[in-house]
Amino acid sequence: MTLTRFIVVLTGLCVILALVLWLVSALQQLYWQVSWTAPFLGPVVVLLTLALLGALLVAFFRYVRPLDWPQDWRSLWQVTQRSITGQTPPTPPEPNPTVSEVKTEAAGAALEAVRAQVDLIRDRVARQALLDRSREIESSLARGELLLVVFGTGSAGKTSLVNALLGRVAGTIGPTMGTTEEGETYRLALPEIDRAVLITDTPGILEAGVAGTQRDRQARRLAAEADLLIFVVEGDLQQSELEPLQQLLAIGKRSLLAFNKTDRYPEADRTAILAKLRERLAEQLPTADIVPIAARPAAVRLPNGETLTPDPEIMPLIRRIVAVLRAEGEELIADNMLLQAQRLSDRARQLIDAQRRRQAEAVVDRYQWLGAGAVAVTPIPVVDLLATAAVNAQMILELGKVYGCNLSGDRAQELALSLAKTMTGLGIVKGAMGILTTALQVNIATAIISRAIQAVTAAYLTRIAGRSFIEYFRHDQDWGDGGISEVVKKQFQLEQRDQFVKRFVQQAIAKVVQPIAQETAPQPKPPDRTSPNS
């Protein structure tokens, strides 16, 4: 209670007490005077006066809220004490944020991280696409609209369901697959839902042809962006339908399953199919989330020859949608926004990783031939990676820079020697020489075979080392659970495939073998300028 309010209350109580004291004698005098002239008016005047006084008292006590007096008096006493002692009032504790608020903040943080990642992407088109998508997600987060997406196979009745929910024909319906070619979004009015609700009709999935594949991809993208997904089927789930539904459920997409066209089944079959659906999805969806409907019942011919089109039977689905949105609406929006932000962040990381991989592979490609050239200039009796450790160390330094890791020269040399010893210990040096000896013997002259094998093998081993270090830097300078040996063995297995070896040998012949052959070929003797004919 503030000081001003306290003074008003105290003044009001004093006035009321004075009025009460005056009223006792005033009413008595008034009653006798009125009764003397008109006896029947005396009680009426007294009652009216009491009613007026009662109304004033009610108004006063509603203002001062007597039920809050204990708390108000305590508040006034605390304010008085603080004013005397000079203490500052304590800051009231902030309420704990709700789960949806925490998720919304996490989504905002993820979008900020995406914008930071975008600066690392060189492709202007990809960079702009990520920025545009981040703004769309941010805008949706600010609007707080609930998005329902109707998803399913071609002509399962998705558009019919949307039309029934809207109460009007909003899309084209037909018996053929592929009627809905693009996603269409409408505003949907639902009872007891305060937020704006949008509903999107998607193209059918699992359609044939190039156009069908494109529509399938678009439908799945729209489904992944839904706050609440309505998966429409017209019978028991086929395996091809079950897989996309399970994928969406696996990423946490809140879903309802609408068993449509139930009017086409006898009662026993309808009951059996519904039971089968609930049994197959028992671990993914509650029983209440699998709802039988008839969005566009078939016309019925009456005995008099007239045709009657029954009303859609979708009220169970509407009730379930409303129940889910009322109970989980805030959480659904927060979950979806966080999911979209994380997916966008994953996409940014994929683009950055692909960009870095291209740069790293260009570094490895350059250094593998530098290593080959070093060995070709100074042949050694036995191929030994230690002889090319300096080249590999410089390659490691450049790979580290590509992935944002600044290594010292000593650390790079240490890593190069460690990898060289690992490859030698695993027998990869001997295995690489055997593979390349067989491949080169049928392509080059015997005179230079030994020198060429050494140089090409050095290039091959440098390539394996480089690609192993790409994996090392991609995983934040971690060789993984299997250690360095497992990574090196995996890269050697990939690089010894016939198709790759053939392509590598062709490049090696052009970059290493032919220069060696030209260097070792006998040079023609200059003409004798002392002869008479010269």
Q: Does residue 522 have a pLDDT over 90?
A: no
Query: Residue 53 carries which side chain, given as an amino acid letter?
Result: L
Helical ranges in 38-174 per DSSP H: 41-64, 69-85, 99-118, 124-143, 158-166
Q: Is there a contact between 460 and 512 (Cβ–Cβ < 8 Å)?
A: no
SS3 205: strand
> What is the reported pLDDT for 279?
92
Beta 197-201 vs 184-188: how paired, if at all? antiparallel
The model's pLDDT over 74-104, given as tens digits with 9 standing for 90+, comes to 554 555 555 555 555 555 555 555 656 777 7
Confidence band for 319, pLDDT divided at 50, 70 and 90: very high
SS3 122: coil
The model's pLDDT over 251-265, given as tens digits with 9 standing for 90+, comes to 888 999 999 999 999
Percent of the chain with pLDDT over 70: 73
Q: Does residue 15 have a pLDDT over 50?
A: yes
Can you tell me the distance from the alpha carbon of 447 to that of 60, in angstroms, rounded to the nearest whole number?
117
Q: Does residue 443 have a pLDDT over 60?
A: no
Confidence band for 530, pLDDT divided at 50, 70 and 90: low
> What is the reported pLDDT for 268?
93
**Across all residues in the chain, what is the average pLDDT?**
78
Q: Does residue 478 have a pLDDT over 50?
A: yes
- Classify 195 in phi/psi space as left (phi over 0), alpha (psi -120 to 50) or beta: beta
Question: How many helices (H) and strands (E) are present in the chain, helices listed first?
Answer: 17, 8
| Best-predicted range by mean pLDDT (63-77, 153-167, 178-192, 421-435) | 153-167
Angle CA 44–49–54, to nearest 5: 125
Please choose, from the candidates 265, 268, 231, 235, the residue with its C-alpha nearest in 3D space to the C-alpha of residue 246: 231
Please choose, from the candidates 432, 443, 446, the residue with its C-alpha nearest in 3D space to the C-alpha of residue 383: 432
Please tell me the least confidently modeled range out of 295-309, 467-481, 507-521.
Answer: 507-521
> What is the reported pLDDT for 175?
38
The C-alpha torsion from 55 through 61 and 65 to 66, rounded to 10°, is -130
> What is the reported pLDDT for 300?
82
